[in-house]
Amino acid sequence: MMVGASVVATGLSASALRYNATDFGVLGDGVADDAPAIQKALDHAGRLGGGVVFLSQPKVHYRLTKGLKLPSYVTLEGPAPVHYPYNAGNKGACALVADFIDHRAWMVEAATTERGVAFAYDKLLGELPQGVTYNCGVKNILLTSKGVVPFGGIRMHGCPGSFVEEVCIDRVGCGLLVNYSFCGSYRVMTNALYYGVVAWDDANANIFAVHCMHSPPWPVKVPSEYQLSFMTQMKDHFDTTLNLSTKDHVDRPYGILCGSIASTSIGNVFDATVEQFPGGIFLYNAYSTDIRQCYLEGNRDKMVCGLVASRSRFSVQAFHAYLSGTGAVFDFGIDVLGKIFGSGIVHAATFGKPPRDDGASLLLLEGIPLSTPGAPIQRGIRYMTNETSWLPLTLKPNWRASADEAPAVRFDPWSQRVEFKGAVQGVGDSVGFVLPPQCRPPGLRVYKVPGGQVAIRADGVARVSADEGSVSLDGISFSRW
């Protein structure tokens, strides 16, 4: 076959794409510095077009005195998946242990460069650089540290198609950062001091399945030396752009941050659990963000805000928030369009803090009854219960309610639709009822229905014509737009 001829001609085979790290001098005794040998294996695989560098020894610690860089098409893989509670009870799991002198480094990152120069640990890409890294990944490994806390665990910057699978990241400043990367997949658990998972500046169309825990000693503020560069840059924006209720968000530890300052981050999908962080999820210039499942919990009286958003478009399909103390479910600034389904339990001291100017915001909060104390306090935001109430129709002379179901109407403020149900009984052609103002159509509407006809004018007057004595209203519906 032609495919077979190609393989023979190039001398490649499936086994040639998998490299055992021990063949490059990696010891895994937890004492020797394995960073140079692992990097040698990664670079070798990269020069040959990609492959897997395999850390084959189970229950082994690989000591690193500096961070590792992943070339294009290269995966660093351990012997077995790592799950909560990290390496405890995970048979076969191994760990990379950072033993850094200086905190200014990531444990593992893409080998992305600009004209051969690596990007500083705290720098974000403003555009896709010349030295792009493609399709690199980390799989089945625990990343942890001793001594100096590293700035971060894994940084995927300027690397389309990158992935992290069955990985736990422990005792770092920031767990995972995705920047100017798209179409990536990340299944990761982080136990970080300051930030769990970050998708920022043109991090587009990525899929995240993440569990973010706040690491002891549970700091309430991010020190300047660990603060992400864009959060430092956003300090002025809290006064001029975001219009949130407080400036304290700028140095607050967050489980998830998604968005951008100068551009946007679009189309990211999250299945997320965030525990014990003072801040849950932070969105700014995050568009078409789909949070399919969201569980927020803070039972140490430390979670101040569950969901912070400004200039963002998002939906939350399943929302479970349990915030104790003085925590608030949300703090929304300007230009927010959100749809939150209140599946599960929502518990907090308050539902939200009114921003200074929220005229452009719109929130659909489903499943939260309007009678819930503190729920409808956000200015410029419309709330909706599971189902709006039916209003009985007051019938004019010559018409009476059906014995089977009384006629009624309801108005959905989100969709701006009016619905009818029930039936009326009578004979002839005359005014049957008048609709309340919020249920009136923008113009004349005429409906052929079982038993006759219903014509509804813009002033709400409904004329009913009966052929057989009973006229059904079921199925009549129109939009007020």
Of 5-14, 136-145, 207-216, the least confident: 5-14
> In the prediction, which pLDDT does 384 show?
37
Instruction: Note if the bond before 217 is cis, omega within 30 degrees.
Output: yes
Please name the residues in contact with 53: beta carbons below 8 A apart, sequence gap of 6 or more: 19, 21, 38, 41, 42, 45, 74, 75, 76, 77
Q: Residue ranges of the domains in the chain?
A: 11-366, 391-479
> In the prediction, which pLDDT does 190 show?
96
CATH class of 391-479: mainly beta
Q: What is the pLDDT of residues 80-97, one digit of tens each?
A: 999 877 666 677 889 999
Q: Which residue has the higher pLDDT, 248 or 16?
A: 248
Q: How far apart are CA 77 and CA 55, in angstroms?
A: 6
With a cut of 80, say whether residue 363 has pLDDT above it: no
> In the prediction, which pLDDT does 357 show?
47
Q: What is the pLDDT of residues 404-455, one digit of tens each?
A: 889 999 887 655 778 899 999 988 899 999 999 989 998 999 999 988 999 9
Tell me which residue of 206, 308, 188 sits closest to 253, measured CA to CA.
Answer: 308
CA atoms 231, 232, 234, 238: torsion sign: positive
Q: What is the 3-state secondary structure (H, E, C) of 384-410?
A: CCCCCCCEECCECCCEEECCCCCCEEE
> In the prediction, which pLDDT does 10 show?
32
What integer is the mean pLDDT of 226-252?
Answer: 87
Residues of the chain above pLDDT 70, percent: 84
CATH class of 11-366: mainly beta
> In the prediction, which pLDDT does 336 show?
83
Q: What share of the chain is helix, strand, coil (3-state, %, to 5)?
A: 10, 45, 45
Pairing mode of beta strands 423-426, 399-401: antiparallel
With a cut of 50, say whether residue 237 has pLDDT above it: yes
Q: Is 91 helix (H, G, I), strand (E, B) or coil?
A: coil
To the nearest whole number, what is the mean pLDDT of the chain? 86
With a cut of 80, say whether residue 4 has pLDDT above it: no
Q: Which residue has the higher pLDDT, 246 or 20?
A: 20
Residues of the chain above pLDDT 90, percent: 60
Could you tell me the pTM of the whole model?
0.75
With a cut of 60, say whether residue 222 has pLDDT above it: yes
